[in-house]
Amino acid sequence: MVVGFDQFMNLGMDNIVEVSGNKKIGIGMVVIIGNSVVTIEALELVSKTLQR
């Protein structure tokens, strides 16, 4: 889940899972540097209202 971002498309993400073949490893929170981002896509419909 994306928990934050900035104007350079640096992304703060939480509940990250690495998938390699049939193996899944929970990583937790990560920061992805913007120039590493090629595309981003929602896997589910996102509500227009912010739910916190």
Give 14-50 pLDDT, tens digit per residue: 999 999 999 999 999 999 998 988 888 877 877 777 6
Q: Distance between CA atoms of 30 and 16, rounded to whole angstroms?
A: 7
Q: Does 51 map to a domain?
A: no
Residue 51 pLDDT: 56
The CA-atom distances, in angstroms, between 43 and each of 21, 25, 30, 40 are: 19, 19, 19, 10
* Number of separate domains in the chain: 1
**With bands split at pLDDT 50, 70 and 90, how would you rate the model's confidence at 52?**
low
What pTM does this model have? Answer: 0.63
Q: Does 18 map to a domain?
A: yes
Q: Does 47 map to a domain?
A: no
Q: b/e for 2-14, b at 16 or more Cβ within 10 A?
A: eeeeeeeeebebe
3-state secondary structure of 23: strand
- Domain carrying residue 20: 2-36
30 residue type, one letter: V
